[in-house]
A and B are shown apart, each in its own frame.
Chain A
Amino acid sequence: MNCMEFQNALPDLLDGGAAPEVEEHPKSCTACAGLVADLKEISAQARLLAASEEPGEHVWARIMESVESDALGHTEVPAPLRALWWGAGQSRWAIPVWAASVAALLLLGFEFNTLRQAPATPPEGVAVVQPAALVDNDDLQLLSVVEKRSPAKRARYKAHLEAVNASIRDAKRSVEEDPANELAQERLIQAYDQKSALYEMAMTRSMQ
């Protein structure tokens, strides 16, 4: 089994229903083993993000609707992978889980596509978080991917990420101040949705 075939079977592996050869592949491929480890780590971290508050069913319905309608380019999420995302959050307060998973999986999806051409080395400076900056580690990693393709674009995307992150921060504050405010909840969901769309755009452009 090569890396491409493994990539195609990755959702089955994460879903726990993979063929034996799929499970064998990462044992002999350090790049794919790293990818699996990263995905498991993200899944675990995403669960830790869960807060104590449970959203109502209507919030879930809206999140589902929001993601399902986010079909620009008609990107189909494989059913098992979709189950992994939703399964991780359905019993918890899932906005951060969903956003982190979408962003991270998109990022990893791209990273995996590039694994076959280049060794998976973390981009320089990724581990450093600037406390004053409005971007996190994932954002810095995304920016390094953008920069590889076009150095001039890094600053532009950074500014856009900062704007989107500011909108998440503001909406989050508003929800914290008034947890019953459904509109603030909707705006928070929308802000995360925008961030995931920005990630998608940045990486689509970077892959071209």
Chain B
Amino acid sequence: MASGKQSRKLAWLLLAGCAGLALAGEKTKEFKYTAAPGAWVSVVNNVGPVTVRYASGRQILIKSKTGSDKVEVAAEQKGNRFEIRTHILQPGSEDERRVEYEIFLPAKVGIAVRADSGPIRVKGLRGSEIILEGEASPVEVHEIEAAGQHLHVRTVSGNIALGKISSAHMEVRSFTGGVSLENVSGPKVQVTTTQGDIRYNGEFGSNGEYSLISHSGNIDVALPEGASVDMMAESVQGSADNDFPLQRKQHSSFLPHKGRSFSGTSHSGSSSVQLSSFSGKIRVKKR
């Protein structure tokens, strides 16, 4: 009985020791700044997630967790700009180079995130100028009240998912990554891909200018019947199919080619929507 208890105790000690070893290289840091109007936060990371969330008040809070002693986090304040950067001190595995960032951002503070491969997630920001760049990093942006600010997202191969974003001047670009937009609206929304597919689900707001362009990726649009759009869709070598009730314009310089292009308006046509592809398929349907 006693030896059973001892064995259990030994096992717990071993387990605790292993956990301690595993966490030995992990370091957490916190940086706090008081943000004046027009402040900017810039984050550069290699491996690991960067998460940005809204915070009330005027304090910027940045938490970082490094995966090993082979990386360190350096923070620097330059006037109203706060720069946080991952420095690789020695070569190491992906896990060893991993740094996780969690950023809490007050309203109207700009954020720029540049990452190699870790996911970039942004949620709930208000009135912030947002610039997100990732190579293979997937980017997710949700619940943004942009208040007329810019949202620029660019990836090389990472997928981009945008949802519940209003009043943003958006420029979204990827090469092989797909772009998905759900209930996204703004005065100007421009999405460009080379091979990635583009998917839009929403009603295109009102008085906006939307441009979804892909070279060889497909473009799929689903919109509710009440959407007020002035739409033009055209694929040079691919196809363009429409299942949404559009009224043909009485006066138009655009000559539709069956199966390759179409155009028309619904309701007052308050938002302009341009769907364009070189060899991809364009499909528009009623939601």
Seen from chain A, the residues whose Cβ lies within 8 Å of a Cβ on chain B are 69, 71-73, 153, 156-157, 160, 163-164, 167, 170-171, 174, 181, 183-184, 186-187, 190-191, 193-194, 197-198, 201, 204-205, 208
> Which secondary structure dominates where chain A touches chain B?
helix
Contact A174 B135, CB 8 Å, known A72-B173, A156-B156, A167-B215: no
Whether the pair A186, B215 counts as a contact (CB closer than 8 A) is no
In the complex, A160 Cα to B171 Cα: how many Å? Answer: 20
User: Binary interface profile of B, 152-173, with partner A (CB < 8 Å = 1, else 0)?
Assistant: 1010110000000000000101
Please pick, from A71, A72, A167, A198, the residue contacting B216 in the complex, using a CB distance under 8 A: A167
Instruction: Tell me the chain B residues, 91-148 only, with Cβ under 8 Å from chain A.
Output: 112, 114, 116, 131, 133, 135-136
Residue pair B116, A205 in contact (C-beta under 8 Å): yes
Are B236 and A174 within 8 A (Cβ)?
Answer: yes
- The residue on B at minimum CB distance from A73 is B131
The answer, yes or no, to whether B278 is at the interface (CB within 8 Å) is yes
A193 CB to closest chain B CB (Å) equals 8
Indicate whether A163 sits within 8 Å of B194 (C-beta atoms), given known contacts A156-B157, A190-B215, A205-B135: yes
Can you list 18 pairs linking A and B with CB atoms under 8 Å apart?
Answer: A69-B190, A72-B154, A72-B171, A73-B131, A153-B135, A156-B156, A160-B156, A163-B175, A164-B175, A167-B278, A181-B236, A183-B236, A184-B278, A191-B194, A194-B192, A197-B173, A204-B133, A208-B114
User: Which residues does chain A contribute within 8 Å of B276, judged by CB atoms?
Assistant: 183, 186-187
Are the CB atoms of B236 and A201 closer together than 8 Å? no
**Least CB distance, B131 to chain A, in whole angstroms:** 6
Instruction: Select from chain A the residue with minimum beta-carbon distance to B116.
Output: A205
A160→B213 contact, CB < 8 A: no
User: Pick the contact of B278 from A71, A73, A163, A171 — CB < 8 Å?
Assistant: A171
Interface residues of B in 195-249 (CB under 8 A from A): 195, 213, 215-216, 234, 236-237
For the complex, give the distance between the alpha carbons of A208 and B152 in Å. 19
Nearest to A153 among chain B residues (CB) is B135
Partner of B175, one of A160, A174, A190, A208: A160
Since A73-B112, A205-B114 are in contact, a sample of 16 more A-B pairs with Cβ atoms closer than 8 Å, ordered by chain A residue number, is: A69-B171, A69-B190, A71-B152, A72-B173, A153-B135, A156-B157, A163-B175, A163-B195, A167-B194, A170-B237, A183-B234, A183-B236, A194-B194, A197-B173, A208-B44, A208-B114
Output the least CB separation between A162 and chain B (Å): 11
Once bound together, how far apart are the Cα atoms of A179 and B118, in whole Å?
43
Decide: A201 near B278, CB < 8 A? Known: A164-B194, A183-B236: no
Contact A190 B192 (CB under 8 A): yes
Closest residue of chain B to A186 (Cβ to Cβ) is B276
A183 to B279, CA, bound (A): 12
A165–B256 Cα distance when bound, in Å, is: 29
Interface positions, chain B 231-287, Cβ under 8 Å from A, are 234, 236-237, 276-279
Chain A residue contacts of B183, Cβ below 8 A: none
Bound: A201/B152 CA distance, A = 13
CB of B176 within 8 Å of the partner chain: yes
State in angstroms the CA–CA spacing of A190 and B192 once bound together: 8
Chain A contacts for B116, CB-based, 8 A: 205
Interface string of B26-52 (1 = CB under 8 A from A): 000000000000000000100000000
3 smallest CB-CB distances across A and B, nearest first, come from: A167-B215, A187-B278, A72-B152
